[in-house]
Amino acid sequence: MKIIAEQVVSVNTKEELAKFAKALAHPTRIEILHLLNTQSCCFTGDLVEVLPIAQSTVSQHLKELKNAGLIQGEINPPKIKYCINKENWQKAKLLFAAFFE
Amino acid sequence: MKIIAEQVVSVNTKEELAKFAKALAHPTRIEILHLLNTQSCCFTGDLVEVLPIAQSTVSQHLKELKNAGLIQGEINPPKIKYCINKENWQKAKLLFAAFFE
DNA sequence: AATACCAATCGCAAATCTACGATAGGCGAT
DNA sequence: ATCGCCTATCGTAGATTTGCGATTGGTATT
């Protein structure tokens, strides 16, 4: 057995990293995040216009990104404006950077 | 429409990033990569010993990491030694870093 | 040649993901 | 109150993922 037993990456970190990675594990979600990150914010309708998929599917992807904590929505009647959740974005950035050393 | 049309992230980059993210999208695979990255290399059996899952499942995870290009196996009869694929590891590191800015 | 060991693959079941159209709900404008 | 717009949710279908035990295949060793 040549594996060092001590757990250098905590269970929580490991799972948190996997959660963020899962959110990024689809080209559409990568694109959404990239658009939000370069555009500051935008409405669901704007995304639907740009992406080659149905509105309901876009909504689902947004929901996943929201659940992962990477974006947040703000009601701006009658639209909903989505932005990067900067706090968690930074967290994810640091986790990935640390993971890759 | 407030979205800038030009595609800053190419389709290929987008898909490559998603591919790497998918490989990282499971706590077990995060742990395997972390072990390999801190241990240089190790055998499948070593991983099976440490991870709380069946040998066949470990083998499956290793296969996915191999397919994503993040690890490589080298035959060392009668065992197989797995290592980080440094070239792609670096590539992934840079892609994630660029994505998060 | 027979045996033992290690790891990959097969076959299967359950769970999750992706996508869509249809429907529902919230809010402003008429 | 009604209409129209925007977005979330529902229901569903098909694909993919995750996990396991059992089996197979490859490589020393006996």
Residue B57: both structure tokens together: 């499942």
- Which residue is closest to A20 within chain B, CA to CA? B25
Question: How many CB pairs lie under 8 A apart between chains A and B?
Answer: 114
Asked if B27 and A35 come within 8 Å (Cβ–Cβ), the reply is no
pLDDT band, very low/low/confident/very high, at A44 (cuts 50, 70, 90): confident
Architecture field, domain B20-99: Orthogonal Bundle (1.10)
Give residues with Cβ within 8 angstroms of A19, minimum separation 6.
A68
Higher local confidence (pLDDT), A5 or B38: B38
Asked if B17 and A30 come within 8 Å (Cβ–Cβ), the reply is yes
Burial (CB < 10 A; 0-12, 13-18, 19+), residue B6, is exposed
pLDDT tens profile B78-101: 567 899 999 999 999 999 999 998
- To the question of domain A24-99 being in CATH 1.25.40.10, the answer is no
Residue A27 pLDDT more than 60? yes
What phi, psi does B85 have (nearest 5°)? -85, 100
Residue A10 pLDDT more than 90? no
Q: Where are the domains of chain B?
A: 20-99
Question: Would you call B1 an interface residue with chain A, using a CB distance cutoff of 8 Å?
Answer: yes
Bases of chain C below 7 A from a protein C-beta are 4-11, 17-22, 26-28
